[in-house]
Chain A
């Protein structure tokens, strides 16, 4: 899966085949076919599922009864950014490939994950001070943060993503909380950037 994600990022999905994926993974081609009898598309579907599972897992772990809802958002965003920084090829798979050039089944998984995150964000209105609750705000927040991620990936700066935590926190919270509170949270996030990375995974999928 890792080899397929890397090669898609480097060459484009249409330019790779099963033999190339196996060679990059250092495995005989039959091993790939043993695991993915339908070939590269099945391999990419599995990779997309893995990244979705990872994202949901790290976000879920960030939610804690000891934290406020918005502190949990900060830690959740931080966990996603660290995950992407640690796995640039999977970041590309999750944020670029799956929405732009992926076959239908991969895109469906992406859209499922997108809807889940949108639903989680939509809960922000329960803790909002805004008198206006746009129905599309959560989609706007997701679209905005993804635009930042895609720009950084396109510039080859995946490993720098965690440093942008304050920007992400501001973008994710300002429709719900307004400027002063979001800027305060962004400053909290800036302090967090100075800390060593959080422990993201006990049982990593993306190895």
Chain B
């Protein structure tokens, strides 16, 4: 079994197993065509176990969205530190997110695509809350912008919205595991509104080296 098909042991953590089954089902057949019976078949769990954790399909779907958003935000928050420059923090945050999405492509698809397009409105609202937190973090870069002056108020939304569009396209095409190769482009696009071309390019090159070292490690295994 590949890492992308990672299955939680249903007996050890039935809630997580159901959540992951929900994500895989959404990716394979869509939220509308996902059924509780299908989740039970995929996990080998009984209906009573499902009902112990979730009231219905929607509750399971929302729990899955909550889970991946919490993991994503935690991964990003861990990388932000007062000891390093904000641009470096963005680099580390993007690396953490890209790695998380590569490791869990079905959960990534649930967060980035299903929650916004196919699931109940509450899922979209959760996604929007998480996105707003990231915007607030990146917006701090505006006050430390380069010599040219402070970027306009919507710069953080535009930068993150752009990165999001790039990531979404890769995930939609089943290329979550290859997102690392786009790290330099993602970093440049996210940072150039705040740090200028020279500094954004310097950090993008760090991303390039990270992406290459990751590829080397993958090929060595």
**Which residues of A come within 8 Å of B, CB atoms?**
99-101, 129-132, 134-137, 139-148, 151, 164, 166-168, 170-171, 174-175, 178-180, 182-183, 186
Contacts and interface: CB of A to CB of B under 8 A. Distances in A.
Contacts of B70: none
A146 B161 contact: yes
Contacts of B153: 167
B154 A171 contact: yes
Interface of B: 116-118, 145-149, 151-155, 157-166, 168-169, 182, 184-186, 188-189, 192-193, 196-197, 200-201, 204
A180 B117 contact: no
Contacts of B158: 144-145, 147-148, 167-168, 170-171
B153 to A, nearest CB: 6
Given A134-B184, A174-B192, A179-B146, A167 B164 contact: no
Contact of B197 (A132, A139, A141): A132
Contacts of B204: 132, 134
A107 to B, nearest CB: 10
Contacts of B201: 130-132
B166 A140 contact: yes
Contact of B155 (A100, A140, A167, A178): A167
A170 B185 contact: no
Instruction: Describe A's contact surface by its main secondary structure.
Output: helix
Contacts of A166: 152
B195 to A, nearest CB: 8
A135 B117 CA distance: 26
Contact of A147 (B152, B164, B192, B193): B164
Given A144-B159, A166-B152, A179-B193, A139 B169 contact: yes
B188 A143 contact: no
A148 B161 CA distance: 8
Contacts of B162: 139-144, 147, 171
A119 to B, nearest CB: 15
B19 to A, nearest CB: 23
Contact of A144 (B118, B157, B168, B200): B157
The 5 lowest CB-CB distance pairs between A and B, nearest first, are A143-B165, A147-B161, A140-B162, A144-B158, A144-B162
A74 B153 CA distance: 18
